Chain A
Amino acid sequence: MGAESIATVWALLIATAVFLYVVMDGFDLGVGILFPAIHAREHRDVAVNSVAPVWDGNETWLVLGGGGLFAVFPLAYAVILPALYMPLIIMLLALIFRGVSFEMRFRAETRAQQLWWDWSFSGGSMVAAFAQGIALGALVQGIAVEERAYAGGWWDWLTPFSVLTGLALMAGYGMLGACWLYWKTEGELQDQARRLARRLGGLTLFFIAAVSAIMPFLQPEFRARWFDFPALIAALPVPVLVVLLAWRYFRALADTPETEAAGAEHPHLSHDAPPPQRFVWRDSIPFACALGLFFLSYTGLGISMWPMMVPPEITIWDAAAPRSTQIFLLVGAAVLIPIILIYTGYVYWLFRGKIRAGEGYH
């Protein structure tokens, strides 16, 4: 395999790692974003415990994205990170507040202390999501490069478009978080999650439409991808599938007479016995649809950007490390990533099902 095709494989691998990060940390950051809407203390405990065993693993994909970029596309790493200096630093600080709050909430000795850590959890989640969205928008808009280095100022990242993508990602993560809670909880909290998921789903679709409308005008290459024949044919299924998924999403979250009746007829929706399997599976449909919406938006972004790594100048092949570096890490990644996916999946399976008040180790 030539260095160029290995670089292509690596670009796809890193794109996959970033996507896994976005959806996995997306739902646990989303739970934090929803915190102001969840008032009852026991509901907050359940919400936090639903993500506590997995958040750390989810966030590791962010480290893989960063570390992988450093290893395989060092030029992109060396240009993107200084260009996005402030949003990334703010994201890291926000992730500190969010990450320690998982433990600190349960160590709090007074109500006031716990409220402070609730705010730290929620504020950290919101700011991290917003900063990630801003970073994405700033990258897509393009980065000034001269002689293998960032050549812009330290406020270049702040534009109306990057603020729009920041808000969009907050809404999207909020939607994922609401769908996760809808899947993993029951009773009052689940009802609330259903309402939140509907609202945030609508908001996310609005943002998807807005960003999609602006994207083609940011770079001439983007426009060619979406409006020139025959590229149009390849790109067209994306918006069509978005509409189909959105329809399925809202149908799953509707208050149908069937769900109402099921709640009344089946006492296992009360707190004594587990709900039957079909309810747990059915409750996962909105989450699956939300994942699909993220995947389609991400694919759309990929269609626009390919093969740019740092628009408008640097392609994935410009940014690639020497062949020896790429192969050395690829050998390990080919063996280890499947293993990681297996045991990560196993841990998720271990903590499957509905979460209840009082679960956790604290």
Chain B
Amino acid sequence: MLWDAFPSALDLARFQFAFTVTFHFLFPALTIGLASYLAVLEGLWLWTKREAYLDLFRYWLKPFAVNFAMGVVSGIVLSYQFGTNWSVFADRTGPVLGPLLGYEVLTAFFLEAGFLGVMLFGLGRVGRGLHFTATCLVAIGTLISAFWILAANSWMQTPAGYSTAPDGRFMPEDWWQIIFNPSFPFRFLHTVTGAYLTTAMIVGAVGAWHLLRERREAGMALPSSALNERSRLMFSMAMWMAAAVAPAQAVFGDLQGLWALHYQPQKVAAMEGHWETQRGAPLILFGLPDMEREETRMAVEIPRLGSVILRHDWDGEILGLKAFPPDARPTNVPLVFWSFRIMVGIGLLMIALGLVSLWLRWRRRLYTVPWFHRWAVAMGPSGLIAVTFGWITTEAGRQPFTVYGMLRTADSVSPIAAPAVATSLAMFIVVYFVVFGAGIWYLLRLFAQAPRSHEPGPALGEPIRTAGITPAPSVRPDRVQGGRPQPVE
């Protein structure tokens, strides 16, 4: 029967949430990193007065604005989707999770939205100090936003500080425990660091691409000093970031894994592909987890390393999936298993990129080695991919629960008929691919433009008039040097 083949409203709602949240997070991952990068660039420009920093600031401001807009509009969808598609979840968890999202709006969204206008449109209209303050506030806003939303997500992973009412609602008992629930601190570090690395990979790829292009257009190897100063600068900054932060990220990831082993052993078992509980468990590098046969077939493994990594003990015991009843195991073990490997594999590539950059920098060849630049270009989207698969690991690993161990996904869904959810899902897919596809295309077009000196940006050449109340132009002719306006202090 055709109707039997039609997915249930639950499956459709799950797929819709997975689709919209995955698409959404691509944008804030870059927003968080770029906002901080822009603040650093503007700060360095004010401090050192080196023009290249301002040029880079203006260069990256344009993609930042496009990316930010896409993050805002795709994020509003999520704040309503808890109610439209997961109304039982909303009713039960609202008393606990609602205020966390409320605080995100009050402390972060308004701050970002308010000062983004000043950041984008104010460079010729307000003083340098105020403009820098606006940039910093936007950057801080992105971090505060990450704080609250990750507190909420972490509470769903490791719920704490609540009691349950007879009608099934979660009642807040201790807000400190709710916010700083066990998985929150390392999830926050891991996610923000991931966003910084994502940005570093993109900035590095853009810089490397322009270095390659200059060399190709010149038709010969150019010495460092002949290359575009701004391309070199952004490439160098990105590689410093990769070298310093990619290894730290591995440590944060490991620490988060240790917490997960304590609080969500099923998830870790699925990540590792372990079915049997064993002492001195191997580390399975690759294999095919088979949910029907309850084993990981064709496993390539390193003896005992699993216990060493997870227990920091040669003989440590690791619980396997069979230690848990089938209805408390992650519903898609291969997805968790493979997503985790993709994330870790990319992380290792980033560490390698950072280490090689240190070597080349020491040999003074960072700007002149084409194979390294090609590698950096190829790594451009790697952060976005790693972040996406990291989230899939942790979210698919939380199944079959929305609130881990307490509220099942199947019991969380809205009483909406499948055709309604299918219709909205189809609309989301079409609109997201058209609109965000176009947005990503424009981002790539912006990246393709070489960063120039006197980068045209927020401040225009002609005087900008705050008409009406204060008729004085905010750009004074005596401050315009070489056709480029200086903001009034």
CA distance A100 to B73 in the complex (A): 8
B417: interface (CB < 8 Å): yes
A5: interface (CB < 8 Å): no
A253: interface (CB < 8 Å): no
CA distance A355 to B271 in the complex (A): 56
Q: Are A333 and B122 in contact (CB under 8 A)?
A: no
Q: Are B109 and A63 in contact (CB under 8 A)?
A: yes
Q: Which residues of B contact A85 (CB under 8 A)?
A: 84, 414, 416, 420, 424
Q: Which residues of A contact B416 (CB under 8 A)?
A: 82, 85, 154
Say what secondary structure dominates the interface of chain A.
Answer: helix
A83 to chain B, nearest CB (A): 9
Q: Are A79 and B87 in contact (CB under 8 A)?
A: yes
Q: Are B460 and A78 in contact (CB under 8 A)?
A: no
Binds B, one of A34-42, A173-181, A231-239, A271-279: A271-279
Q: Are A82 and B414 in contact (CB under 8 A)?
A: yes
Given the interface contacts A53-B120, A71-B102, A99-B73, does A347 sit within 8 Å of B83 by beta carbon? Answer: no
B109 to chain A, nearest CB (A): 5
Binds B, one of A90-98, A163-171, A194-202: A90-98
CA distance A206 to B96 in the complex (A): 44
Q: Which residues of B contact A54 (CB under 8 A)?
A: 117
Mask: chain A, 100-134; 1 = CB below 8 Å from B; 0 = not: 10111001010000000000100000000000000
CA distance A359 to B458 in the complex (A): 10
B477 to chain A, nearest CB (A): 16
Given the interface contacts A67-B105, A328-B175, does A344 sit within 8 Å of B110 by beta carbon? Answer: yes
Q: Are A361 and B458 in contact (CB under 8 A)?
A: yes
- Chain B, interface size category, equals 35 or more
Q: Are A78 and B94 in contact (CB under 8 A)?
A: yes
B261: interface (CB < 8 Å): no
Q: Which residues of B contact A347 (CB under 8 A)?
A: 114-115, 117-118
Question: Which residues A298-329 have CB closer than 8 A to chain B?
Answer: 321-322, 324-325, 328-329
CA distance A350 to B124 in the complex (A): 12
Q: Which residues of A contact B113 (CB under 8 A)?
A: 56-57, 59-60
Binds A, one of B214-222, B242-250, B435-443: B435-443
Q: Are B73 and A351 in contact (CB under 8 A)?
A: no
Q: Which residues of A contact B169 (CB under 8 A)?
A: 74
Q: Of A100, A332, A355, which is within 8 A of B70 by CB? A: A100
CA distance A81 to B83 in the complex (A): 5
A73 closest partner in B (C-beta) = B94
CA distance A358 to B431 in the complex (A): 31
B382: interface (CB < 8 Å): no
CA distance A67 to B167 in the complex (A): 22
Q: Are B102 and A329 in contact (CB under 8 A)?
A: yes
Q: Are B417 and A354 in contact (CB under 8 A)?
A: no
Q: A81-B83, A340-B110, A361-B458 given; name 5 further pairs at CB < 8 Å.
A: A66-B79, A93-B431, A120-B435, A148-B167, A325-B95
Question: Measuring CB to CB, which residues of chain A are less than 8 angstroms from any residue of chain B?
Answer: 52-54, 56-57, 59-60, 62-64, 66-72, 74-75, 77-82, 85-86, 88-90, 92-93, 95-97, 99-100, 102-104, 107, 109, 120, 148-151, 153-154, 273-275, 277, 279-280, 321-322, 324-325, 328-329, 332-333, 336-337, 340, 343-344, 347, 350-356, 358-361
